């Protein structure tokens, strides 16, 4: 079926041979709304039939059987497909006598096929291209200062103005690793678009889904009331706001404190982990050393101290009065509630 009417079947080719720890694949197995099984099993109404090819989740024994759909897609014999990259893209122009990252071998020469070889062939043919996790989106930990591979995110490699065969920009779903349902929700939107049932997913200028990354960690944090009352944790065993012990939440785009991690539970600062800004294009260099208070956090937490200390004291007084039952709740032989039996118009 042509895309004007929507596709009935879509292949998902997922390569995790970018510079990565495979943590995004592992993370996505924890998704529940929907789960990857729901999508592959056809349980989500309105989606095309999905054929998933992912190293960790493959029923094959690997080798050529696993590589077959990737080879077919590279030669234009398998379509339509969504290409998912996990991990950052090394710079093979500076690989010396070797290579940085490969995926299978050339059938004739037996030489390793680099990740970049696959990207050059698969990305232009892909109906949509999705970067799973911060490494694929922006380079991540492997791309930090001092790295030897010159690695980068997918948009740095393909170009920020890249358009897929389906006319879509790269879809970045950052996170280290990606939050399971952030990825699945985005994938479902892209699949619904492929089915002709939805418009393209709205992205911000860093190519992130707007509805997932439009708010800051701080705006969704369980501890934000402690911040407002200038009540700051001095160590990691405290339930109070962690800005003084290294939380970057006020300036980081991420929905994890709202969404939780698995089944709505978890969410970095909510459960005691400082936000180290793992979804951000400048991660990790701009946010290190991780356990020092952010410079802006020092300023804002100092400015809020007089207001917060005063308002916390006032709320303490009001809280004490609010914790007292009304004086007419008693067992004496007289009614003191103010009840008036005479009806007046
Ligand atoms: S712990 Fe972090 S995100 Fe939460 S209120 Fe404090 S600074 Fe904001
Ligand atoms: S809250 Fe911070 S550390 Fe946690 S996933 Fe979001 S950006 Fe990463």
Helix (H), strand (E) counts: the chain: 12, 7
Same domain, residue pair 97 and 53: yes
Ligand that lies nearest to the alpha carbon of residue 254, given by its number in the listed order: 2
3-state secondary structure 263-328: CCECCHHHHCCCCCCCCCCCCCHHHCCCCCCCHHHHHHHHHCHHHHHHHHHHHHHHHHHHCCCCCC
Domain termination site, one of 183, 212, 241: 212
DSSP code, position 122: H
126 lines ligand 2 (CB under 6 A): no
Domain termination residue (choose one: 212, 240, 265): 212
The answer to the question of whether 268 is labelled as a binding residue is no
Instruction: Please state, in angstroms and rounded to a whole number, the distance separating the CA atoms of residues 228 and 246.
Output: 17
Nearest-CA residue for atom 8 of ligand 2: 278
> In terms of pTM, does the model score above 0.85?
yes
Q: Is residue 88 part of a domain?
A: yes
Q: Is residue 331 part of a domain?
A: no
Q: How many domains does the chain have?
A: 2
DSSP label at residue 3? T
**Main-chain phi, psi angles of 103, to 5 degrees:** -145, 100
DSSP letter at 10? Answer: E
pLDDT of amino acid 5: 75
**Same domain? 71 vs 146:** yes
Q: What is the pLDDT of residue 1?
A: 46
Q: Is residue 129 part of a domain?
A: yes
Q: Are both 140 and 286 inside the same structural domain?
A: no
Q: Domain end: 155, 181, 212, which one?
A: 212
Please report, in angstroms and rounded to a whole number, the separation of the first and last CA atoms in the chain: 73
Q: Name the residue with the closest Cα to ligand 1, atom 6.
A: 241
Q: Are residues 104 and 195 in the same domain?
A: yes
Ligand nearest to the CA of 270: 1
- DSSP secondary structure string, 186-254? HHHHHHHHHTTSSPPPPB-TTS-BHHHHSSBTGGG-TTHHHHHTT-B-SSTT-SSB-GGGT--GGG-B-
In a domain, 330, yes or no: no
58 within domain boundaries:
yes
Q: Is the CB of 256 under 6 A from ligand 2?
A: yes
Q: What is the pLDDT of residue 297?
A: 86
- Could you tell me the CATH number of the domain that includes residue 292? 4.10.480.10
Ligand found nearest the CA of 246 = 1
Domain co-membership, 292 together with 184: no
Domain match, 292 and 268 both: yes
329 domain-assigned: no
Give the residues surrounding ligand 1 with Cβ less than 6 Å away: 217-218, 221, 223-224, 227, 241-243, 247, 249-250, 269, 275
Tokens of 17: 């041979």
What CATH code is carried by the domain that includes residue 134? Answer: 3.40.50.700
Check if 279 has its Cβ closer than 6 Å to any atom of ligand 2.
yes
Per-residue pLDDT of the chain (345 residues; tens, 9 = 90+): 445 679 999 999 999 999 999 999 999 999 999 999 999 999 999 999 999 999 999 999 999 999 999 999 999 999 999 999 999 999 999 999 999 999 999 999 999 999 999 999 999 999 999 999 999 999 999 999 999 999 999 999 999 999 999 999 999 999 999 999 999 999 999 999 999 999 999 999 999 999 999 999 999 999 999 999 999 999 999 999 999 999 999 999 999 999 999 999 999 999 999 999 999 999 999 999 998 889 888 888 899 999 999 999 999 999 999 999 999 999 999 999 999 888 776
Residue pair 226/279 in contact (Cβ under 8 Å)? The answer is no
- If asked whether residues 98 and 236 sit together in one domain, one would say no
Does one domain contain both 94 and 231? no
Q: Are residues 130 and 14 in the same domain?
A: yes
- Residues sharing a CB contact under 8 Å with residue 106, sequence separation 6 or more, in sequence order: 112, 113
Q: Residue 344: its pLDDT value, please?
A: 72
Do residues 86 and 14 lie in contact, with contact meaning Cβ atoms separated by under 8 Å? yes
Which residues constitute the domain of residue 141? 9-212
Q: Within a domain: residue 203?
A: yes
Same domain, 223 and 174: no
**How far apart are the CA of 277 and the centre of ligand 2, in A?**
5
| 222 and 197, same domain (yes or no) | no
Q: Please name which of 174, 132, 173, 138 lies closest in space to residue 155, comparing C-alpha atoms.
A: 138
Please tell me whether residues 311 and 195 are part of one structural domain. Answer: no
150 is a domain residue:
yes
CB–CB of 170/138 below 8 Å? no
């Amino acid at each position: 079926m042509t895309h004007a009417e929507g596709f009935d079947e879509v292949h998902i080719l997922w390569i995790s041979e970018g510079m990565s720890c495979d943590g995004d694949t592992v993370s996505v197995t924890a998704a529940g709304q929907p789960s990857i099984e729901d999508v592959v099993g056809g349980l989500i109404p309105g989606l095309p039939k999905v054929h998933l090819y992912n190293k960790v989740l493959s029923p094959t024994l690997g080798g050529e059987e696993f590589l077959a759909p990737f080879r077919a897609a590279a030669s234009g014999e398998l379509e339509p497909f969504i290409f998912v990259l996990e991990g950052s893209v090394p710079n093979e122009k500076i690989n010396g006598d070797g290579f940085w990252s490969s995926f299978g071998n050339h059938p004739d020469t037996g030489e390793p096929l680099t990740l970049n070889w696959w990207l050059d062939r698969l990305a232009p043919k892909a109906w949509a291209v999705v970067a799973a996790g911060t490494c694929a989106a922006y380079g991540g930990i492997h791309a930090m200062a001092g790295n030897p591979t010159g690695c980068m995110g997918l948009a740095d490699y393909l170009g920020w103005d890249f358009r897929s065969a389906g006319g879509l920009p790269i879809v970045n779903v950052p996170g280290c690793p990606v939050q399971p349902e952030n990825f699945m929700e985005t994938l479902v939107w892209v699949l619904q678009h492929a089915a002709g049932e939805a418009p393209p997913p709205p992205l911000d200028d860093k190519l992130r889904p707007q509805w997932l990354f439009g708010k800051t960690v701080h705006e969704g944090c369980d501890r934000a009331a402690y911040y407002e009352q200038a009540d700051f944790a001095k160590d990691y065993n405290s339930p109070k706001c962690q800005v003084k012990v290294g939380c970057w939440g006020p300036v980081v785009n991420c929905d994890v404190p709202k969404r939780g991690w698995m089944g709505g539970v978890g969410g970095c600062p909510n459960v005691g982990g400082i936000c180290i800004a793992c979804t951000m294009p400048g991660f990790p260099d701009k946010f290190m050393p991780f356990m020092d208070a952010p410079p802006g956090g020092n300023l804002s937490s100092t400015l809020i101290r007089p207001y917060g200390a005063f308002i916390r004291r006032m709320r303490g007084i009001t809280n004490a009065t609010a914790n007292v039952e009304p004086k007419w709740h008693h067992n004496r032989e007289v009614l003191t509630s103010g009840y008036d039996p005479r009806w007046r118009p």
